[in-house]
A and B are shown apart, each in its own frame.
Chain A
Amino acid sequence: AQRVTQPEKLLSVFKGAPVELKCNYSYSGSPELFWYVQYSRQRLQLLLRHISRESIKGFTADLNKGETSFHLKKPFAQEEDSAMYYCALLGTGRRALTFGSGTRLQVQP
């Protein structure tokens, strides 16, 4: 079975502070990991994926297989980062993503 855990329902930080959204997964194989974001009144969209090892809007995420984690980080939060963030896993040979329960990020001025 595959499972994604996001322990924080809400994370509130001030503008300019570092941000880390936690994500842990359980999966017996080698999964693909993703972060999706949902801004207010917008559809859910892909933010980044571990395969491409890219930084999007200042966010990065490193897959740690030893700790089975894929935490999302940004050194300096901006107000426009306020949104709902979902960590997701794609198992080997599967096409459907398994999502965590999501973390709402609030960046205060």
Chain B
Amino acid sequence: DAGVIQSPRHEVTEMGQEVTLRCKPISGHNSLFWYRQTMMRGLELLIYFNNNVPIDDSGMPEDRFSAKMPNASFSTLKIQPSEPRDSAVYFCASSSTTGFGTEAFFGQGTRLTVV
């Protein structure tokens, strides 16, 4: 398995444009997470899904952010309209409960720059 796959790796967009980030979790994993990483705040959980169902979206900053998981192998995080303060690295991670607890496997991240 190639691990969690995110696309694009880098995205530069103008303020006001729509941005869509994509994630393919590890096959067989039933939980998927979206995190945002910034210098000031570190890693923040935005939303997570279990069996394709959103469980906790309390970390989503505002209505401009939305996430979907139409099936077990694909998820999107959309920002519409984008703002400069959305600039960050966005990580997707997936996990499956094991006997030793839950290890999350992370993608390479998408570096978003909104100008």
* CB nearest to B95 among chain A residues: A95
- CA of A69 to CA of B48, assembled, Å: 26
A interface size (C-beta, 8 A): 20
Among residues of A, the one whose C-beta sits closest to the C-beta of B56 is: A96
Chain A residue with the shortest CB-CB distance to B106: A44
Say how far A38's CB is from chain B's closest CB, in angstroms.
Answer: 9
Q: How far is the CB of B53 from chain A (nearest CB, A)?
A: 12
B101 CB → nearest A CB, Å: 5
B3 CB–A CB distance under 8 Å: yes
Taking CB atoms, residues of chain B closer than 8 Å to A95 are 31, 48, 50, 55, 95, 97, 102
Secondary structure at chain A's binding surface: helix, strand, loop or mixed? loop
Residues in A whose Cβ lies below 8 Å from that of B101: 32, 49, 51, 90
Contact with A along B85-99 (1 / 0, CB 8 A): 000000101010100
Residue of B nearest to A94 (CB): B56
Give Cα A95 to B48, complex, Å.
8
In whole angstroms, how far apart are the Cα atoms of A78 and B35 in the complex? 30
19 additional A-B residue pairs with CB within 8 Å, beyond A46-B103, A97-B104: A32-B102, A43-B4, A43-B106, A43-B109, A45-B105, A45-B106, A46-B104, A49-B103, A51-B100, A51-B101, A86-B43, A95-B55, A95-B97, A96-B33, A96-B55, A99-B35, A99-B42, A99-B43, A102-B43
Chain B residues at the A interface, C-beta cutoff of 8 Å: 3-4, 31, 33, 35, 41-45, 48, 50, 55-56, 91, 93, 95, 97, 100-109
Interface residues of A (CB under 8 A from B): 6, 32, 34, 43-46, 49, 51-52, 86, 90, 95-102
